[in-house]
Amino acid sequence: MRYRIPMERARLTRLLLIASIVYVIGFYFIGSAIKPGYSQLSNFVSEYNATGTPWSGTLTYAGYLATSVLLAAFLVSATPLVQVSGASRLGFWLLWSAPASFFLSVIAPCDAGCPLDGSSSQLLHNLLATITYFGMGASIALMSLAPQLSAFKLRRTFMLLVGIAFPVMFVAMLQPEVSPWRGLLQRSLDIALASSLILIVWTLIPGGQKTRRGVA
């Protein structure tokens, strides 16, 4: 009986993560389908609700706000369960950069085209995006140091590489020569983040997977 509540909470945590990932996929594909001229290869995610563009209000609340709420609920559910200490605990708290990265488009939508310069909302958007992207990278890198991951060398290496990739690809996305592919780069980071969160839940949360010796 004493294990029932943690096991149910672990199940809820996994369900919230899966719901968050599925919702984001739906948001991206529906958003690109209804947004005139939008390309998932070349447009930033934040351009779904760029100021003055079609469907910006709907996508602000049904897309960014709903996603940030789901991710926040996942983190609240995971907090008392996740097995982290020291640097990896700091990494877990930095995971709040993930819901913040969506919520920033609610409070500071970008201008059309999401330029480096522009309105005060665009400048605030750029500042918050820089903070959250570097925060997500640091988060995954630090969580790769969790003691429970010492038995899973490939998982730890993958998460460390994802953490390094975030600041590198963030800077790459801003380069004019890669503008035709910046949307693809950003979505690649989204996939890497989702994969890392799955590894975290199934490795660092009791009830997700029992720790065993291995390299996977």
Nearest-10 crossing angle of helices 120-143, 153-173: 160
* Rounded Cα gap, residues 48 and 56, in angstroms: 6
* CA pair distance 153, 90, nearest whole angstrom: 21
Structure tokens, 66: 């709903």
What's the longest Cα–Cα distance across the chain? 59
The tokens describing 178, both together, are 């890669």
For the chain, list the strands marked E by DSSP: none
Terminus-to-terminus CA distance in the chain, angstroms? 32
Please say whether the beta carbons of 60 and 121 come within 8 A.
no
pLDDT digits (tens, 9 = 90+) for 155-213: 999 999 999 999 999 999 999 999 999 999 999 999 999 999 999 999 999 874 444 44
Give 54's contacts (C-beta < 8 A, 6+ positions apart): 34, 35, 36
Q: CA-to-CA distance for 180 and 160, rounded, in angstroms?
A: 27
The three-class DSSP label of residue 3 is coil
Instruction: Please report where in the chains the tokens 């029992």 appear, as a residue.
Output: 210
Interatomic CA distance for residues 192 and 142, integer angstroms: 15
Q: Residue 211: what pLDDT?
A: 41
CB 216 within 8 A of CB 152: yes
pLDDT digits (tens, 9 = 90+) for 32-72: 999 999 999 999 999 999 999 999 999 999 999 999 999 99
Two tokens, residue 64: 């960014």
Q: Yes or no: say if 132 and 100 are a contact pair by the CB < 8 Å rule.
A: yes
Tens of pLDDT, residue by residue over 7-25, are: 899 999 999 999 999 999 9
Residues 6+ apart with CB under 8 A from 89: none
Q: Which tens digits make up the pLDDT trace of 110-146?
A: 999 999 999 999 999 999 999 999 999 999 999 999 9
> Does the predicted TM-score (pTM) go above 0.85?
yes
Q: How far apart are CA 135 and CA 180, in angstroms?
A: 26
Task: Tell me if 205 sits within 8 A of 79, measured CB to CB.
Answer: no
